[in-house]
Every structure is written in C-alpha cells, then in structure tokens.
Amino acid sequence: MTRWRVSGLRVRLLLAFALLGVTTTAVVASGSYFQARTVLLQQAQDAAVASLTDQLTKVYPVRRLPPTQDELDSLAQRLSDREGYAVVLYRDMRAQGAQVPEPLTPELRQAVASGVIAWQRVSRDGVPVLLIGTQLEVDRSSGTPVPSGLEVYSVRSLASEQRSIDRLATLAWLTGGLSLVLAVLLALLAARGVLRPVRELGRAARRLGEGDLTTRLAVRGADELADVARTFNDTAGTLERQVGELRRMEADARRFVADVSHELRTPLAAMTAVTDVLDEEADRLPGDAGRAARLVSQETQSLTQLVNDLIEVSRFDSGTARLALDDVDVAVAVTATLRARGWVERVHAELPPGVVARLDPRRLDVIVANLVGNAFRHGSEPVSVRLRAEPDWITIEVRDHGPGLDPEVLPHVFDRFYKADTARTRSEGSGLGLAIAWENARLHRHAGQAGSLLAGNDPTGGAVFTLRLPRVATDAGGVR
C-alpha cells in the first residue's frame, strides 16, 4: 500500500530513531558494562588481596630466617587452594604451588621489591590471571619494618570473573539489540502517526485537484499537522465558496441566455410567420421600401437561427439534450443532407453504401451541414466528404482545399462565437454552428466513450474535420 521511498519521510524517521536508539543504548550499555567490569574486577582483586594478607598474618611471628626449603614449600602449599596457587621466593630459593612455567612478570617483582603489596592482571594462555605479590617484612619494636627477603605471590585465575563479565557483555549486546528493535518499532509507529495525516493530506489534495471541492480533512490534535489540516480545510472551503460562486454566476448567465432566447421566440414567431409575406411583397414595393422589407425578412431569419442555436446550446449546457435514435444508412443520410441544401453537385462524396448506424439522424444532419457549410465558407472547393466504417465506429471526414486552419485558431474552432476572422460579417452564421456540431457529436456515446469531432489540417493543405460516431449509440442521458 505504501511505497518505501529511500530518502522518504518514513525511511528518514526510521534511520533517525534507529540511530538514536542505538547510540543511546550503546552509551548506556557500554557505560554500565565498563562500570560493572571495573567494580567486578576491583572487588575480586580486593578480595584476593585481603584473603592473601589474611592468610599471611598466620606466617607470623617469624621463627627462623633464612627459611628452610621445607618451610617454603609448606608455606606455598598452605597458600594454594582451588582458585589459585602461591609462589614463595627467598633469594634463590623458590617454592611454587603448581607446576607451571614462570607466571610472574619482572615489573611486578620490581614493584614488590620496593616494599608494597602489588598486583597485576595478565593473560596466561588466554586465561586472565591475577598476580598479587608482597614482601614479608619483620617488625621492629621501633622504626620501620625490615624486609625479611621472603616474597609471596598469589596467582589466581580470573576465569569466573571473565565469565561474569562475558555475561555482562552478552547482556549489553542483548539490551542493545532489543533497544534497536524497540527503536525501529517506535519509529514505525511514529512514522505511521506522522505519515497517516500526511498521506491523508496528500489524498485530499489530490481529490481537491481532481475537482472534488467538498474535500475536507479531519482535524486531530493540536500539532503542526493539525494546523496544516486546518489550513487545508480553510483553503478548500474558500475555494469551494469561490468556485460555487463562479458556477452560480455562470449558471445564472446561462439561464439568462436561455430565458432571453425563449422570450425572443414569441416575437420572432410572429415575425417569422410573416417573412414570406414580406418576401412576396418586396418585389412589388417601390425602391427603399422593398429593400427594407427584404432586409427585415432576411435578418429575421438570421435572428431566428441565432435564437434556435442559443436554445440548442443552452439545452446542451443544462443536460436536457436527448438523442432520438434511429437505424440509419449513413450514406443515404449524408446524401440527403447534401441534397436538402443543394450541395450535391459541389461536394465530392465518397460514401460506401450499406453502412448502417444507430444514431440521431437530425443531429447527424446538423453536424454534416455545419461542417460542409463551414468548408464552403472558409475553405475553398472542392470540398470532399468521406465515410469510413469500423466495426464499432463510423468516421466522416469533411475536407476542403483552402489554406487550412491557422494554428492559433485550431484550439478554438469549436468555441462558441469564435470568429477566426474578426472582420467577417455576422450574416455568415450564428457563430455557434461548430460548437453545436461538437456537442452533437459528443452526445452520441457507446460503452462509456463519447463521439468526437476533431479539427486539423491536411499536410497537403486544407482543413480536415473528422467526425467519429459509435455504430450503436446510446443516449448520454444528459450526463455531461
């Protein structure tokens, strides 16, 4: 569901948490580990020293110096136990509690010779060993003690301490690992907590971008993300209000146009009814009166056409336009359109017979008449109409041999009242013809696909309008 983008917020959060967790744990765990190790060793050492000195008090009082070898041996024997053994030296004499190579270090012997108890940890065959050494001195009733020449060393294995410390280390590693896992889990949790609102924000923004202006976010908590959500909601609200206002104004404007058109119809109906009378009488009227009568008649018809077109357009806008579907031989229908307007001789038609389609023949007539009329007006002859049939679609191509459409005009040819040539006289059409043709094409739908009307230029010159309608159209049902 979620992409794990490297350098994404989630990964960054995860890394930050893991780093924090690991660092903290490393510091704490290693700190306590070292502390514990020091304490452990110190305790072991202190205990060993104390034990040795305790045992050595039993050596006193000294009865004989120099000692015999037997005495040395028995002393070494007494000082050796399970945990270690003793080495007793007297000048060249030596007694050792275990048969091992020289365990003592020169620096330790030097320290002991200076008259202090000294100890040192060394490694013997990989095993940590504690060496403790002291001279045995003889008290004098006054003044400092005198060295007796006896040196006693205790050699103790630190294996058990080593084990304890190893356990501590294992524990530290385990703690570190666990805290890493915990950090990752927490990071995931935190990332989810942070990312969910972010994702919601993204989704909402996308929906808003797609036009759903009612999109709002649930504002949770009082953090920065909640602020963002609130700001988003405010923005969306403002946008919705403004777009709603604009739409309302647009709808008002359209309704106004529709209302005006309807209101114009009644007077136009009266005027249209008598244009024939005017036409007939114009010839008999003298001079200016006749011209005026013809002008009124002619402009009444233009005005009627304009109002009809406006009403047609407002019907498209309000979604009330419906198809009156019939099974039509397209070639016959197109021919009829051309014949009805007296264009059969002027148009080169390639209309394969027998192409039957289910469509609204009146709307097809409107489209074809508009396209061909447009070609005559703006292009130059010969104008050709070509019908092509596909399994599910039919294509009608209307082509002229004029200069073609200006690239700047091309995106606007289907705009309402768009006039490529501003100097053109209005009498050449209402300015809605191509817009209505385009809407009529789109009204024919099949399997969710709308019919289309495209404008373009032929490489060899001349404008090409391509109408594409489904073989079996269904009414769009006012869906826009």
* 407, 422 contact by CB (below 8 A): no
Nearer to other proteins, 47 or 246 (CB): 47
Which burial class, exposed, middle or buried, applies to 280 when counting CB atoms under 10 A from its CB (0-12, 13-18, 19+)? exposed
DSSP letter assigned to residue 50: H
Q: To the nearest whole angstrom, how small is the minimum distance from the Cβ of residue 438 to other proteins?
A: 19
Nearer to other proteins, 215 or 261 (CB): 261
Query: Within a 13 Å sphere around the CA of 112, how many CA atoms are in the beta-carbon half?
Result: 26
Q: Which residue has the tokens 């924090």?
A: 20
Helix, coil or strand: residue 407:
coil
Query: Within a 13 Å sphere around the CA of 253, how many CA atoms are in the beta-carbon half?
Result: 6
Nearer to other proteins, 215 or 275 (CB): 275
Q: Which residue has the tokens 């989630």?
A: 10
Nearer to other proteins, 137 or 428 (CB): 137
DSSP letter assigned to residue 141: S
Q: To the nearest whole angstrom, how small is the minimum distance from the Cβ of residue 46 to other proteins?
A: 9
Helix, coil or strand: residue 389:
strand
The span from the CA of 376 to the CA of 55, in Å, is: 129
What are the residues whose beta carbons fall under 8 Å from the beta carbon of 281, sequence distance 6 or more? 293
Nearer to other proteins, 31 or 221 (CB): 31
Q: Residue 186 corresponds to which tokens in the numbers above?
A: 């927490």
Q: To the nearest whole angstrom, how small is the minimum distance from the Cβ of residue 52 to other proteins?
A: 9
Nearer to other proteins, 127 or 185 (CB): 127
Angle at 392 between CA 412 and CA 331, to 5 degrees: 75
Q: To the nearest whole angstrom, how small is the minimum distance from the Cβ of residue 370 to other proteins?
A: 14
Q: To the nearest whole angstrom, how small is the minimum distance from the Cβ of residue 315 to other proteins?
A: 8
Which burial class, exposed, middle or buried, applies to 138 when counting CB atoms under 10 A from its CB (0-12, 13-18, 19+)? middle
Q: To the nearest whole angstrom, how small is the minimum distance from the Cβ of residue 367 to other proteins?
A: 12
Nearer to other proteins, 138 or 454 (CB): 138
Nearer to other proteins, 63 or 284 (CB): 63
Q: To the nearest whole angstrom, how small is the minimum distance from the Cβ of residue 276 to other proteins?
A: 4
Q: Residue 248 corresponds to which tokens in the numbers above?
A: 């309302």
Element (H, E) at 334: helix 330-340
Nearer to other proteins, 59 or 398 (CB): 59
Helix, coil or strand: residue 346:
coil
The span from the CA of 4 to the CA of 317, in Å, is: 46
Q: To the nearest whole angstrom, how small is the minimum distance from the Cβ of residue 304 to other proteins?
A: 5
Q: How many CB atoms lie within 10 A of CB 86?
A: 24
Q: To the nearest whole angstrom, how small is the minimum distance from the Cβ of residue 110 to other proteins?
A: 8
CA dihedral 300→302→306→307, nearest 10 degrees, is 20
Q: Residue 12 corresponds to which tokens in the numbers above?
A: 């960054």
Listed residue (62, 61, 90) closest to 153, CA to CA: 90
The span from the CA of 429 to the CA of 425, in Å, is: 9
Q: To the nearest whole angstrom, how small is the minimum distance from the Cβ of residue 455 to other proteins?
A: 25
Helix, coil or strand: residue 146:
strand
Nearer to other proteins, 348 or 362 (CB): 362
Nearer to other proteins, 23 or 380 (CB): 23
Nearer to other proteins, 122 or 410 (CB): 122
Q: Where are the alpha helices (DSSP H) in 210-286?
A: 224-282
Q: To the nearest whole angstrom, how small is the minimum distance from the Cβ of residue 458 to other proteins?
A: 29
Q: To the nearest whole angstrom, how small is the minimum distance from the Cβ of residue 31 to other proteins?
A: 9
* 134, 56 contact by CB (below 8 A): yes
